[in-house]
Amino acid sequence: MENDEFKDLIVAYLKKLSDEGLLTIYAFVIMPNHMHMIFRQNKLNGKETPKGSLLKYTSHTFLKQLKLDGKAGIYKVDMANKSHQIWQRDSLGVEIYSRQVARQKLDYIPARTRPNGSSGRAVRRAF
């Protein structure tokens, strides 16, 4: 994800969901074309999951800006229920059922987020 405004939007909406007690966020990383996130869903956001709310809100907001920038065409799809698709449909969710699995997922953070591709701890960056 090249657009820092889009990254800021994701972070701000995650904070909103967390502040409202809908999610407990343990870790996340935003990559150029996807993101990884470890979280616990605490309760629904009305009738939808907090993850669903995140994907819906960000996709609508991204699409609005992409249309203004004339870049929405690359997300165009030929589907009965929508004209554009920002996020991958049915994104993968893996249940974390133990501390060992949680550690494995945390260690999976891609090497590109680590200093010099090392196996050390991930670096926090301002994009």
Q: Tens digit of pLDDT for each residue in 7-38? A: 999 999 999 999 999 999 988 888 888 888 88
Q: How far apart are CA 64 and CA 86, in angstroms?
A: 11
Q: How far apart are CA 7 and CA 59, in angstroms?
A: 12
For residue 52, pLDDT over 60 is answered with yes
Look at residue 11 in the predicted model and tell me its pLDDT.
Answer: 93
Chain CA centroid to CA 76, Å: 20
Look at residue 61 in the predicted model and tell me its pLDDT.
Answer: 95
Q: How far apart are CA 4 and CA 18, in angstroms?
A: 21
For residue 96, pLDDT over 60 is answered with yes
3 by DSSP, 3-state: which?
coil
Buried b (16+ CB within 10 A) or exposed e, 57-83: bbbebbbeebeeeeebeebeeeeeeee
The interaxial angle of helices 50-68 and 4-19, nearest 10 deg, is: 150
